[in-house]
Structure 1
């Protein structure tokens, strides 16, 4: 009876997924400082040499694990455009509040933010893979609103997007206050009050 040779690609993919799951679960349990490649390997049931063959550090493992299932296609589809910019931004930011409150999201994101502060290359990859696609979606929605006359012509859509998102990130990262729907609704209202066309 013929036996098929083991599928190395499928085995490698299983190992990768196990490593990703181990890294994400462990960072939530022990924190980034106590997270180790050895610990990830033990949890995933692989040798640490397997991890080092694919990634140079625990930070790189965590980055790939966290961004593996990122909804980049969702970003590419853009933000909703109902014709009401304020309503659309509030809906998206409320959904973002829910995501950022999820412990499974918080632990790796905070770990990567801390690691990125000390590792410029890691930070650049994180921005490129996850943050920049989201930022572009906001910029494009704000530009569409500008073309529709909802935002003044002098407003730079990129700066406007950063003005909406930066206070959100600051509050969450620095824990300066609770992330709530009322906060994000107020954030949108305050920002748009400055972006609206002024009566001539």
Structure 2
């Protein structure tokens, strides 16, 4: 029996969705978030504006979905039994993501917009930040239970100590974010939180 020549609407829709996500990331990387428009995204993606509005209520929603999909590797938090190695693996993935042109939409777009839009700020925390914080805390809890790090620590504080330096460079451009920065962060933070440093 000959294969049907009828187009698959699901496949066509997925192609359009990916084209829209790619267009939003590209345009936000090329210009400011303020200059990003639904019309511009539609034109770059080669779709009608009504197609975009059928799936997303705003340009922020498009960028969030795009970044969630493109950033899935940073949700892979290993647990090899070696805390330092596991943190290095995950944090290096984050640093490499920050270096990617794709993620210019994160710093130039969503984080910038979040400063004046509480709804975007909450969406960024809920969709991007909190899932990664939760995974890191779970890994730190295992290290705490194993006696590797101090039992008196607030693990949310440790997460901030680990990742804040990456965000500092990303947002303020003091120096480039780099995988070698991860080694420095880990050396300093783990020296302070290890169980043999307990007061």
Once the two structures are TM-superposed, the CA of residue 119 in structure 1 deviates from its matched residue by: 1.7
SS at match of 1:149: coil
Query: Partners of 2:45 and 2:94 in 1: how far apart?
Result: 30
TM-score w.r.t. structure 2 length?
A: 0.84
In structure 2, stretches of 5+ residues that fail to align are none
Query: Partners of 1:145 and 1:167 in 2: how far apart?
Result: 22
* Mapping for residues 30-69 of structure 1, pairs under 5 Å: 30-69=31-70
In structure 1, stretches of 5+ residues that fail to align are none
Cα deviations across residues 66-90 of structure 1 (Å, max 9, x unaligned)? Answer: 2234417x73x6x223333223222
- CA 1:68–1:186: 2 relative to 1, 3 Å: closer
Aligned to 2:27: 26
Aligned to 2:92: 94
TM-score w.r.t. structure 1 length?
A: 0.84
Query: Partners of 1:106 and 1:66 in 2: how far apart?
Result: 10
Once the two structures are TM-superposed, the CA of residue 5 in structure 1 deviates from its matched residue by: 7.0
Q: Is this contact kept in 1: 2:64–2:127, CA < 8 A?
A: no
- CA 1:82–1:36: 2 relative to 1, 3 Å: same
Query: Partners of 1:180 and 1:14 in 2: how far apart?
Result: 33
Once the two structures are TM-superposed, the CA of residue 149 in structure 1 deviates from its matched residue by: 0.8
- CA 1:163–1:50: 2 relative to 1, 3 Å: same
Aligned to 2:159: 161
- CA 1:108–1:154: 2 relative to 1, 3 Å: closer
